[in-house]
Structure 1
Amino acid sequence: MTEDFINYYRENISKKSQIIKGVNDFLVWGKSQKINFAICTNKMESLAKNFLKKLILLSFLIILQVLIPLNIENQIQDI
């Protein structure tokens, strides 16, 4: 069941997501000013990267920090 959920989540991760107005302009400006951006998330790394790629945000990041409780990480090996 967990694997089915993760597969569904992966396929639909960005369907209803959108960047808030002004954020993209801010990220472009920040990159031009050599400002480093980072995201900390509780999503599995592959899901977080997939989400950021779909929203065209991954290229702005220097650091993607993934925080997953050990018991979940041991059960789900980054499908």
Structure 2
Amino acid sequence: MPYRRLPNTDAARLRALRAVACYKNSPIDTERPFDRRILQEICSFLPQFENAMFEYKQAINSEGNKNNKYQQYI
């Protein structure tokens, strides 16, 4: 069985999910390396994952800004 590396970071996971989602508009008779059900699950999960990553980045930026303001008071 060949060894396949799994994505380690959220950016790599997002890139991998987007690569699979590009098969969404491909014709049905095309050879896909995965089942249609998996494609549907990924297409429904991808917007939620992108939104979660966006909210996470916003929270990190907000925390950094609040920390900078707090450091000014000290």
Q: Same fold (TM over 0.5)?
A: no
More strand by share: 1
If the length of structure 2 is used for normalisation, what is the TM-score?
0.21
Higher relative contact order (CA 8 A, sep 6+): 1
If the length of structure 1 is used for normalisation, what is the TM-score?
0.20
Report which of the two structures shows the higher radius of gyration computed on alpha carbons. Answer: 2
More helix by share: 2
